[in-house]
Amino acid sequence: MAQNATIYKAELQLADMDQGHYQNYSMTIARHPSETDLRMMVRLLAFALNASDTLLFSKGISTENEPDIWQKNLSDEILLWIDLGQPDEKRIRKACGRSRQVIIYTYQQRSAAAWWQQIKNSLQRFDNLHIYSLDVEGHELEQYVDRQIQLQCTIQDGECWLTDGNSSTTIKLKQWK
């Protein structure tokens, strides 16, 4: 018998100084049974880094033809496709063909660096592709996991500062492409 997703509620207070975007977001996050706490929190962080009223979590891990997060217009055209981790070249090509803009956030430093060295030459032709490495250590983001997540997020100068009122974490973004 298949396990069901675990549902989390998140309240995100966002202050994106780089984009001049300040807003509070209330969201429901469904965590697939095979998804780790770290990956779920990276999804929340990716949402914060690209926040808008039309940005949505998709079915993600459980659906092969959808990204982790996306933004569509009213005619169902994909404006933004966001994937996490280290997708294969075929998936990236497909995403670049289906969306105006594709962003990939990697977060496992050692394996991500090896993945990037292996794949970077074949991806140079995609002008609508952006790849970022998130400098997160295993337990930094996992400390915020709770069924009722409440976070304040400040983004400025390529860094993201997260706090829940008790502890804080700074995450640096490195643009690879």
Q: What is the pTM of this model?
A: 0.89
Domain ranges for the chain: 6-175
Backbone angles phi, psi at 124, to 5 degrees: -60, -25
**What are the strands, taking DSSP E only, across 32-87?**
55-57, 69-72, 78-84
List the chain pLDDT tens, one digit each, 177 residues: 457 888 889 999 999 999 899 999 999 988 888 888 888 899 999 999 999 989 998 876 656 778 999 999 999 899 999 999 999 999 999 999 999 999 999 988 788 889 999 999 999 999 999 999 998 765 688 888 888 989 999 999 989 999 998 888 899 889 998
Assign domain 6-175 to a CATH class. alpha beta
Tell me the one-letter amino acid at 80: L
